[in-house]
Amino acid sequence: MSNYHIKHFEEYFQVYRKSVNNPESFWEEIAEEHFVWRKKWNNVLRWDFQKPEIKWFEGAQLNITENCLDRHLHTRGDKTAILFEPNDPNEPAEHITYKQLYDRVCKFANVLHDKGISKGDRVCIYLPMIPELAVAVLACARIGAIHSVVFAGFSSTALSTRINDCDAKMVICADGSYRGSKTIDLKGIVDEALKDCPGVESVLVAKRINSDIAMKEGRDEWLQPLLDEAYREYSAVIMDAEDPLFILYTSGSTGMPKGMLHTIGGYMVYTAYTFKNVFQYKEEDVYWCTADIGWITGHSYIVYGPLCNGATTVMFEGVPSYPDFGRFWEIVDKHKVNQFYTAPTAIRALAKHGTELIEKYDLSSLKVLGSVGEPINEEAWHWYNDNVGKKKSPIVDTWWQTETGGIMITPIPFSTPTKPTYATLPFIGIQPALMDENGQEIKGNQVDGRLCIKFPWPSMARTIWGNHQRYKDTYFSAFENMYFTGDGALRDEVGYYRITGRVDDVIIVSGHNLGTAPIEDAINEHNAVAESAIVGFPHDVKGNALYGFITLKDVGETRQHDNVRKEINQLITDRIGPIAKLDKIQFTSGLPKTRSGKIMRRILRKIASHETENLGDTSTLLNPEVVQEIMDNVK
Ligand code: WTA
């Protein structure tokens, strides 16, 4: 029996048991039967969560792009690989076949090669959701360069921090991007960032909005003329399974963003296998994930997972609200989308506009609906289920992380009975555990605790780029011999998991992870600010929004406060990006602190969420009068 495609619930249990009872032979079989390797592995798995060190398929050789492209050329050469839907609905969609994608990737790889990029070099990709983004990612993989995609909504400071952290030699960007009715000057942002990045030798610029931009002599070059000249074959560089594939930054609770490093073999096997089963992808299906390739969801489930399966994957450049809030449904109808994967924040934003815009379109092609990025609340779940899926397309609420590389807890559609707000059961090979505060595993059902994973899975991040100690401290130190996710979860009476949210200082706003520390650092740069603390509070569209409690050095006239508010949000936009702006700002005469001087965010969180009836243990609180004042003035 092939275990690659799970079709019913009993089969899920059988395969699951096999995968945890004998993980090595299980993954060996999947890897062997469904992927192209130049050389087989010596060991399927070697691991040690103490060090920590995780190696899958050690000794094997491959190139992931041979799995995404070359092997499909004979059987699916003329099938659409990427279906590009532009921002402007009047601009025609582009169907890029596997053959064409192969040519474009090879040409791009030749351009990289000619520019002196070779195996192991880091290339930063800062592009909007246009085909060049996927092509650039694959071209890096083809020549063995490590891509670091930075979401093109990040500011110049955020970009330069990421470029310098991984010491990227090259930046690939566009002149600008379209976002609904707006355009964004991406090249300007890159120019600003590169003032602080001495290591960048070259910049390749894709033309998208035809804006008049400055090109720096000797550094910047237009991409298209180079591609036009390039040869359309590039033989893939053969890589080791444990060679790096990419770095992707994610926010931590403190300090610098963490450059999560993923390696090739295990990541490929796991993302492809989850894609096939979680979306029940069939050969003729059109699959659409609305994420941006700047996030892990786009890496794993727009590019690598779908292409490894020879799927047709939609890439959408625009936003759900342009030209109106019916755009998603218009695209589903136009391209007869079968699997649709989006975030709860998008669902809530669309639900606000009622169902009229849905009724204009034929959504009968939909078979599976997905959700990712944050807990989906009951109301949004039902709205999605009733109005989009018409109660016949199962919702897969997929829980996972940048660090996990692939989907970890999820229903398998048409097999696992779904339950609103529950991600349900661990995927094949995944061994979750709930832990209590004393570091003990909580067994049995109807319990809640901190979510950990007991055993390695192929697509887990191997380290934090340049900081292995931080990797160990963040993920492997809280609980012995466990990977700690940073999330809380509960397990219901039948063993289904529900993710309750972050238990650290990461706040998920509109599905984007934001660390409080970098935002506070940005605020504290304002010369009127003495101190600040950021917490999340519930928001009906964003899931969480940011509330800033800020103490000014000199409590001047209230008239000036509005200016300071604006300036603070501008600073945040400059340092991080508009996604991190504060929804509410309250100026306070002080912040609640413990006797040892630590800010008691727990109390601020309760105040911001209007849950002040029980503030919890306040025995270590140094300044109760400040808490009273904050509660009296709360917004
Ligand atoms: C949260 C996104 C509840 C969680 C793939 C996790 C979720 C963080 C879900 C990772 C879900 C993601 N239900 N919470 N289905 N999916 N999360 O790294 O807190 O951007 O730790 O990866 O998002 O976010 P990241």
Residues 251-288: tens digit of each pLDDT: 877 778 999 999 999 999 999 999 999 999 999 999 99
What's the distance, Cα to Cα, between the start and end of the chain in Å?
60
Q: How many CB atoms lie within 10 A of CB 419?
A: 16
Q: How far apart are CA 583 and CA 548, in angstroms?
A: 8
Predicted local confidence at residue 1, as pLDDT: 52
C-alpha torsion 531→533→539→541, nearest 10: 80
Predicted local confidence at residue 555, as pLDDT: 58
Instruction: Please check whether residue 175 is in contact with residue 187, taking contact to mean a CB–CB distance below 8 angstroms.
Output: yes
Q: Residue 544 Cα, ligand 1 centroid: separation in angstroms?
A: 13
Residue 473 CB partners (closer than 8 Å, separation 6+): none
DSSP for 150-186, please give it: --TTS-HHHHHHHHHHHT-SEEEEES-EEETTEEE-H
Q: Residue 399 Cα, ligand 1 centroid: separation in angstroms?
A: 6
398 lines ligand 1 (CB under 6 A): yes
Q: How far apart are CA 634 and CA 583, in angstroms?
A: 13
Residue 610 CB partners (closer than 8 Å, separation 6+): 634
CA of 583: how far to CAs of 328, 515, 586, in Å?
27, 16, 10
300 lines ligand 1 (CB under 6 A): no
CA of 164: how far to CAs of 148, 156, 257, 426, 582, in Å?
11, 12, 12, 37, 27
Instruction: Please check whether residue 22 is in contact with residue 232, taking contact to mean a CB–CB distance below 8 angstroms.
Output: no
Predicted local confidence at residue 504, as pLDDT: 87
Residue 83 CB partners (closer than 8 Å, separation 6+): 93, 94, 95, 96, 286, 312, 313, 314, 315, 335
Q: How far apart are CA 468 and CA 415, in angstroms?
A: 39
475 lines ligand 1 (CB under 6 A): no
Please state the φ and ψ torsions of residue 539, each to the nearest 5 degrees: -135, 135
Q: Residue 88 Cα, ligand 1 centroid: separation in angstroms?
A: 30
CA 281 to centroid of chain Cα atoms: 21
Q: How far apart are CA 281 and CA 298, in angstroms?
A: 17
Cis peptide before 323 (omega within 30 of 0): yes
Residue nearest to atom 8 of ligand 1 (CA): 401
User: Which of the 8 DSSP states describes residue 597?
Assistant: S
Q: Residue 424 Cα, ligand 1 centroid: separation in angstroms?
A: 14
Category of 355 on φ-ψ map: left (φ > 0), alpha (ψ -120 to 50) or beta: alpha
Count of helices and strands (H, E) across the chain:
21, 30
Residue nearest to atom 7 of ligand 1 (CA): 374
Q: How many CB atoms lie within 10 A of CB 577?
A: 21
Cα Rg for the chain, rounded, in angstroms?
A: 24
Q: Residue 436 Cα, ligand 1 centroid: separation in angstroms?
A: 21
508 lines ligand 1 (CB under 6 A): yes
Q: Residue 401 Cα, ligand 1 centroid: separation in angstroms?
A: 5
401 lines ligand 1 (CB under 6 A): yes
Q: Residue 377 Cα, ligand 1 centroid: separation in angstroms?
A: 14
Q: Residue 343 Cα, ligand 1 centroid: separation in angstroms?
A: 10
Q: How far apart are CA 10 and CA 204, in angstroms?
A: 51
The residues of the chain scoring below 70 in pLDDT are 1, 555-559
278 lines ligand 1 (CB under 6 A): no
Predicted local confidence at residue 556, as pLDDT: 63
342 lines ligand 1 (CB under 6 A): no
Ligand 1 atom closest to residue 401's alpha carbon, by position in its atom list: 22
Q: Residue 372 Cα, ligand 1 centroid: separation in angstroms?
A: 6
569 lines ligand 1 (CB under 6 A): no
Residue nearest to atom 10 of ligand 1 (CA): 401
Residues 590-612: tens digit of each pLDDT: 999 988 788 899 899 999 999 98
Residue nearest to atom 25 of ligand 1 (CA): 401
* Residue that the structure tokens 């930075």 belong to: 150
